[in-house]
Structure 1
Amino acid sequence: MKIVLGSPLNAIPKPWLYFDVPAVMVNALEIRGDPRAVLQYEGELWIDSGGYQILKKGLSVDLEKIAEIYRRVDAQLYLSLDVPPSPQDPPDVAEKKFEKSYSNWEKLRKMVGDSVIPVLHVYKDVGLFRRYLARYLDAPALAIGAAVPYVLITKGAPKGSRGLALKLIAEVRAQYKGPIHILGMGSPSVTPILAVMRIDSTDSATWRLKAAYGKVVLPGGGERHVTSRSVNFGRAKPKDGELEELYNFLQATGFPVLDDFYSRIKISFEYRALVNAWVVLKSWAEPPRPKSFKTLYQLAVSH
């Protein structure tokens, strides 16, 4: 399964300068000139419309402006401007957002071409989800968004939200024959489940954020705080043998920057970010570590 690294344009470090990264996703709202020159990256480039940021910040963005950026920048895939519903939205509000996402895709597809990929959103009203899935079956590829609140956060989501989200994703896989990308689900706790479900790709931008908070990501999921500074959340320190397990995983999978691992991981944000990026890219074949995700993984395998 392909894991796409989400990254700010001016990101430090740049993992692709150290090892192979199959694809990089950047935000259209950050683009001013040539993103490849800024990234120093010649590989597969994906551009996200910035729909989530637009929603969170209450911005108003002209669809023609997004189209202009997409026409100007040479990329392999452009995500349509979507309007994600939240788990708390009542069905009538959610349906307006589904319809706006569909309308944006139709318009951008006409302006830019078939490399614009629509986004279908996970939502608690299964009937609404299915109606819009039927409208996207002719798309050349399909992204599924809004799964993070149901699977990785769950606060405010309906009971059984993880199972619901995975059920909807499985329905898409059964009905849709093209490539499927799950937005924002590149956590090592989840990627093994998606791989078993025959999902083609997903992405993660948290490799840098977790490193900035002093954390390393473990193969199979979970994170550990490894610096000496105090933190307000996610204080779990490595248990006996966990850093050795991480080191052994990096060594076994060919991580190219292993020198002084135990000291650098504690003092260097950039080094932690490289380690986290590698784990995100390489651990989708590892069974999940957290118990709840392990159960979901076993269910996916049995089906």
Structure 2
Amino acid sequence: MAGNGFKLILGTPIETTIYPWRILPIRGVMVNAYSILKSRKLSSMRGRGLRKLLGLTDDVELWLDSGGYQFLREGIDPGAYRIAKIYREIDADYYVSLDYPPSPRDSDDIRALKIAKTVSTFMTLKSMLRGKVEEGRLIPVFHLAIGESLRIQLVEYTSNACIAAVGGLIPYFMQRAGKFSRLKALLFLILMRKLWRGKLHALGIASAAVIPLLKLIGVDSGDTQTWRHKAGYGKIIIPGAGERHISKQQVRFGPAKLKGEEIKIYHALLEKASKHLNLTHEMLVESFEARALFNAWMLVEVANNRLGYNGASRPFARLYELAKHYMKLEEAEIEEELRRILYEGVVAGRREEKTVRVEFEANVLPTTEPTSIRAAIDY
């Protein structure tokens, strides 16, 4: 990945009816193990079966994610053995280790336990998938941490992987992690880029707004399903403006319709996109598939810097400038700044997130709670 620019990976469910990688220069596609297990069709995906199902040519990488976040939401722990079975049977380019993402609202003890379980599960998968480890295709996952929790992840991963992922940052970019939510994610990404010498992947956050930030920091690749999710809500992506409703669906959240100068920008982008996708305004209004293709094209354009876009919306433009500043600092200074903003205050948990955490603890975590991450790994 390094040396070839930022690599955009499009996340997709296996039952998709939209295949932008057949039309656009998409470099990779990601499917998660949760959707594979849920489909109960693993037998048809063995070997190159999943590639055939998705219509992937050999120059498009196939990434398998464990689906750790989806399992977490269901209060299910699939375990390393079940994930290893899927990873052994499906021919993919990269396999993301099973992780247990901490919530921004988790206590230090629970966060340490989840990180510990993520690390120990990677070590188990490493012993079960030795060939993939030797080929550099099993990807460990870092979660936001400082001090001992961060050092343990570095020690265990550095000698066993040449590419690592940073996970669990979606709530931070969605501003669900209290004060300075996005800044916390930014600082951790910069810190990881300085500490991790191999290739670095950002899990789930490669939106149009965040891609310029990842490129500036030097993150090698990132994945996203925003191209589909936004389309499902009747939205299209307009760099610099965010997302705008264009369908006849009721506006459920976020900014409403295009207005003012945005309309001119939209029509210019549509004209450009239509040269590749044969889309019309009417198609975008009526069709989820058309909106999804438009959004995928938009992400490709941003990833390849063909729009001259650098995070121009006001909040992200500010993050862009902060990134330039923090990248000049030493690792210890960045970590200290992250420590400061992490412990300025405790964010109160919301009921639905607290319920998920209780289910997770009941089904996944041990009943006693060692405070030290090292103790948790040895538990």
* TM-score, structure 2 normalization: 0.74
- 2:323 partner SS: helix
Name which of 287, 290, 300 aligns with 2:313. 290
Deviates more, 1:267-276 or 1:236-245: 236-245
Call closer, same or farther: CA 1:221–1:203 in 2, change over 3 Å: farther
The amino acid of 2:75's aligned partner reads G
- 1:94 partner SS: helix
The amino acid of 1:104's aligned partner reads T
Following superposition, the deviation at residue 111 of structure 1 comes to: 1.0
Call closer, same or farther: CA 1:248–1:227 in 2, change over 3 Å: same
% of aligned pairs identical? 38
The amino acid of 1:202's aligned partner reads G
Map 1:154-173 → 2, pairs under 5 A: 154-155=175-176, 157-173=177-193
Map 1:57-206 → 2, pairs under 5 A: 57-112=74-129, 113-114=132-133, 115-123=137-145, 128-138=149-159, 139-151=161-173, 153-155=174-176, 157-206=177-226
Asked if structure 1 preserves the Cα contact closer than 8 Å seen for 2:236 and 2:245, the reply is: yes
Supply the distance in 2 between the matched residues of 1:269 and 1:253 (Cα, whole angstroms).
16
Supply the distance in 2 between the matched residues of 1:282 and 1:255 (Cα, whole angstroms).
13
Q: Which residue of 2 aligns with 1:15?
A: 20
Following superposition, the deviation at residue 235 of structure 1 comes to: 4.8
Question: C-alpha deviations, 1:171-211, integer Å up to 9, x for none?
Answer: 11112111100111111111101100010011101211111
Call closer, same or farther: CA 1:251–1:130 in 2, change over 3 Å: farther
The amino acid of 1:287's aligned partner reads N
Following superposition, the deviation at residue 244 of structure 1 comes to: 3.4
- 1:223 partner SS: strand
Supply the distance in 2 between the matched residues of 1:126 and 1:161 (Cα, whole angstroms).
19
Q: Which residue of 2 aligns with 1:5?
A: 10
Supply the distance in 1 between the matched residues of 2:126 and 2:210 (Cα, whole angstroms).
31
Asked if structure 1 preserves the Cα contact closer than 8 Å seen for 2:273 and 2:297, the reply is: no
The amino acid of 2:208's aligned partner reads P
Supply the distance in 1 between the matched residues of 2:19 and 2:233 (Cα, whole angstroms).
18
Q: Which residue of 2 aligns with 1:209?
A: 229
Following superposition, the deviation at residue 62 of structure 1 comes to: 3.3
Map 1:211-230 → 2, pairs under 5 A: 211-220=231-240, 222-230=242-250
The amino acid of 1:215's aligned partner reads K
The amino acid of 1:150's aligned partner reads Y
Following superposition, the deviation at residue 136 of structure 1 comes to: 2.2
Asked if structure 1 preserves the Cα contact closer than 8 Å seen for 2:233 and 2:249, the reply is: no
In structure 1, the gaps of 5 or more residues are none
Call closer, same or farther: CA 1:103–1:276 in 2, change over 3 Å: same
Map 1:260-279 → 2, pairs under 5 A: 261-279=280-298
Following superposition, the deviation at residue 130 of structure 1 comes to: 4.2
Following superposition, the deviation at residue 18 of structure 1 comes to: 1.8
Following superposition, the deviation at residue 253 of structure 1 comes to: 7.2
Asked if structure 2 preserves the Cα contact closer than 8 Å seen for 1:189 and 1:221, the reply is: no
In structure 2, the gaps of 5 or more residues are 1-5, 37-41, 328-379
Asked if structure 2 preserves the Cα contact closer than 8 Å seen for 1:187 and 1:221, the reply is: no
Supply the distance in 2 between the matched residues of 1:244 and 1:109 (Cα, whole angstroms).
52
Call closer, same or farther: CA 1:221–1:94 in 2, change over 3 Å: farther
Does residue 24 in structure 1 map to residue 33 in structure 2? Answer: no
Following superposition, the deviation at residue 238 of structure 1 comes to: 0.6
Greater CA radius of gyration, 1 or 2? Answer: 2
* TM-score, structure 1 normalization: 0.92
Call closer, same or farther: CA 1:146–1:223 in 2, change over 3 Å: same
Which of the pair has the greater relative contact order for Cα pairs under 8 Å at 6+ separation? 2
RMSD (CA atoms): 1.9
Following superposition, the deviation at residue 60 of structure 1 comes to: 3.0
Runs of 4+ deviating beyond 4 Å: 250-255
